[in-house]
């Protein structure tokens, strides 16, 4: 589950040249490295336990794998629920039952390893470290009891014969393991939204905001899981024996999924007026309803209701295939589609020109193919529209072979068309690839500039760290990539601090910088006065007239030389 871990406090004495973090951000301090340093003073057993806790289970370490581990466990719990329900239905083939049994054995092993790891690292968990016996305190914890219930029946079944029907009931209890993630998320959500209205709470649940917390991530997790389950159900429904044996189960799954999607649709429409730019109870909701995301949400539920209410009037079974459009709901949870839309919008004039050339070439070659091949193959080149199919297939270098020219002129046109098609079809692909890479570079440069501004005071606040975390997730940056960006921002900040490396017009634009630069220049003149030979300096200035009277007086004032002693000739 996409839970958002909290951060631990930073050490009182930060490392040199590092940027301290004032809040709970994810990046500046490498907590895993600090844990290794602290663990070096412990005995080997304690060192291994602390490293395991810091690397895998510590929710306060944003650089570890705790979030990925919890997300994998949550997906496995959901898969176990579906497999248990599927196994309880009649008509499951024996080969499938063997695979289901193997899946259950793997799940039990994973859950057992998780329980053992949590039990072993309990002395490092702040919730149990203060107890006299941390591991015993962990075992009495309700979450630990649920973890034990998830594996104990299957372990006992390997030793003591247990009715499989009873065992399946106990397997269903694995769904209770989700309370480990949901209860803290609900408590955090209530704290964040204390005193807020019902509509504001609904907005925090379904829209990304500072008030959503981990419960918003859990809600997105449920919607994404329902999308995948729904699409798999639609695909399996096309298999005849699956449709015959599990028709009722598939219908029940579809009803449950549509109910969740409908609830999400209504919540978004109800709470959208809290979004910026959607103010107004009527106009704001109309603006939200016209958005691409809401149209996708509507298409996800519309086939079900249309078939349910209009099935007696029209045959709408063909609408079932449109349930696969629910996959488009996943685009809400990735910024790659947003980046691609920006790229297409920016490069649209060039792509439109390439598309026009392709259409022109297709029409011309289809017309030539019709002229040269119609008499020889009237059934295949019956008309120009039918020849367009041949032209597109040839231009795209696919060449199915169902329509092939037989005349010399037709074959010559095909050769020319195939050679041109290699370049023509490559233009849009090359444009998209180059523009997509360029857009990512621009967004990363923007993030680097934002980091430069954040690090102006040497401290990342909680709000700045949250922004950095969100942007890094949007740009699919790993912790190492963010660390590299931070180092570049530090170097840029250090170079900016050295005013001598900046152009003079940039220094002059800021009075504070101009004053600091002037003081630096005066300091350099003083150093020069201490190291230079005053007599020879004055003689050279007098002989060649290299310094004006004003320049000599400035030199004398800064370096302490008498203004009337050996100055340059007037």
Cβ neighbors of 557 (< 8 A, separation 6 or more) are 563
Rg (C-alpha) for the chain, rounded Å, is: 35
Residue 172: phi, psi to the nearest 5? -65, -25
Mind giving me the DSSP string for 514-531?
HHHHHHHHHHHHHHHHHH
The tens digit of pLDDT for each residue in 312-336 reads: 666 556 666 677 777 777 777 666 6
Structure tokens at 347: 């490069």
58 CB-contact burial (10 Å; exposed 0-12 / middle 13-18 / buried 19+) = buried
Higher-confidence residue of 113 and 435: namely: 113
Q: Please report which residue ranges of 374-461 form alpha helices under DSSP H.
A: 384-395, 408-424, 426-454
pLDDT computed for residue 226 by the predictor: 86
Q: What is the pLDDT of residues 453-499, one digit of tens each?
A: 776 655 666 666 767 776 776 666 666 777 777 777 666 666 555 55
Domain architecture of the chain: domains with CATH = 193-333 (1.20.120.350), 338-424 (1.10.287.70)
Q: How far apart are CA 73 and CA 169, in angstroms?
A: 20
Q: Is the pTM for the entire model greater than 0.85?
A: no
What is the C-alpha separation between 562 and 553, in angstroms, rounded?
9
d(CA 418, CA 412): 10
pLDDT in tens, 427-453: 777 777 777 777 777 777 777 777 767
CB atoms within 10 A of CB 376: 13
Q: Find residue 20's DSSP bridge partners.
A: 459
Q: What is the pLDDT of residues 343-375, one digit of tens each?
A: 777 778 877 888 888 888 888 888 888 888 888
Mean pLDDT for the chain overall: 76
Q: Annotate 476-500 with DSSP letters as a single string.
A: T--HHHHHHHHHHHHHHHHHHH-GG
The pair of structure tokens assigned to 44 is: 């080997």
Q: Which residue has the tokens 């699956």?
A: 242
pLDDT digits (tens, 9 = 90+) for 40-60: 555 666 778 888 888 888 877
Contact assessment for residue 444 and residue 437, using Cβ atoms and an 8 Å cutoff: no
């Amino acid at each position: 589950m996409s839970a958002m871990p909290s951060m631990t406090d930073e050490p009182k004495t930060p490392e040199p040249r590092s940027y301290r973090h004032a809040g709970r951000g994810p990046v500046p301090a490498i907590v895993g490295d600090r844990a290794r340093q602290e663990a070096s003073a412990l005995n080997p057993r304690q060192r291994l336990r602390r490293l395991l806790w810091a690397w895998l289970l510590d929710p306060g370490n944003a650089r570890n794998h705790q979030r990925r581990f919890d997300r994998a466990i949550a997906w496995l719990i959901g898969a176990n629920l579906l497999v248990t329900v599927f196994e309880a239905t009649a008509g499951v083939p024996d080969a499938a039952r063997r695979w289901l049994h193997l899946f259950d054995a793997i799940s039990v092993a994973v859950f057992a390893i998780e329980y053992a790891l949590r039990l072993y690292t309990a002395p490092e968990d702040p919730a149990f470290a203060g107890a006299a016996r941390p591991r015993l305190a962990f075992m009495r914890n309700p979450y630990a009891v649920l973890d034990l219930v998830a594996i104990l029946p299957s372990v006992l079944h390997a030793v003591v014969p247990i009715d499989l029907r009873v065992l399946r009931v106990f397997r269903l209890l694995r769904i209770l393991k989700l309370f480990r993630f949901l209860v803290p998320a609900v408590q955090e959500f209530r704290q964040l939204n204390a005193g807020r209205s019902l509509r504001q709470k609904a907005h925090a649940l379904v829209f990304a905001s500072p008030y959503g917390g981990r419960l918003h991530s859990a809600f997105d997790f449920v919607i994404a899981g329902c999308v995948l389950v729904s699409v798999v159900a639609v695909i399996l429904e096309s298999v005849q024996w699956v449709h015959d044996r599990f028709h009722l189960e598939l219908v029940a799954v579809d009803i449950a999924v549509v109910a969740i999607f409908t609830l999400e649709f209504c919540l978004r429409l109800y709470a959208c007026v809290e979004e910026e730019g959607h103010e107004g109870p009527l106009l704001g909701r109309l603006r939200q309803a016209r958005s691409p995301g809401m149209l996708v949400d509507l298409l996800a539920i519309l086939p079900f209701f249309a078939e349910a209410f209009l099935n007696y009037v029209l045959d709408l079974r063909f609408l079932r295939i449109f349930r696969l459009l629910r996959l488009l709901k996943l685009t809400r949870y990735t910024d790659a589609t947003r980046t691609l839309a920006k790229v297409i919008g920016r490069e649209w004039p060039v792509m439109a020109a390439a598309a026009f050339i392709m259409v022109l070439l297709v029409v011309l070659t289809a017309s030539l193919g019709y002229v040269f091949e119609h008499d020889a193959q009237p059934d295949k080149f019956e008309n120009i529209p039918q020849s367009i199919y041949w032209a597109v297939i040839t231009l795209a270098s696919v060449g199915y072979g169902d329509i092939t020219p037989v005349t010399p002129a037709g074959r010559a046109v095909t050769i020319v068309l195939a050679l041109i098609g290699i370049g023509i079809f490559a233009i849009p692909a090359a444009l998209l690839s180059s523009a997509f890479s360029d857009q990512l570079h621009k967004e990363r440069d923007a993030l680097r500039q934002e980091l430069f501004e954040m690090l102006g005071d040497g401290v990342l606040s909680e709000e700045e760290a949250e922004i950095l975390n969100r942007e890094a997730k949007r740009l699919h940056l790993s912790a190492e990539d963010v660390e590299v960006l931070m180092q570049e921002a530090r170097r840029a900040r250090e170079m900016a601090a050295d005013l001598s490396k900046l152009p003079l017009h940039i220094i002059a634009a800021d009075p504070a910088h101009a004053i600091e630069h002037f003081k630096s220049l005066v300091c350099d003149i003083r150093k020069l006065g201490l190291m230079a030979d005053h007599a020879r300096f004055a003689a050279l200035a007098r002989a060649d007239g290299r310094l004006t009277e004003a320049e000599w007086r400035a030199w004398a004032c800064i370096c302490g030389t008498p203004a009337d002693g050996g100055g340059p000739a007037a």
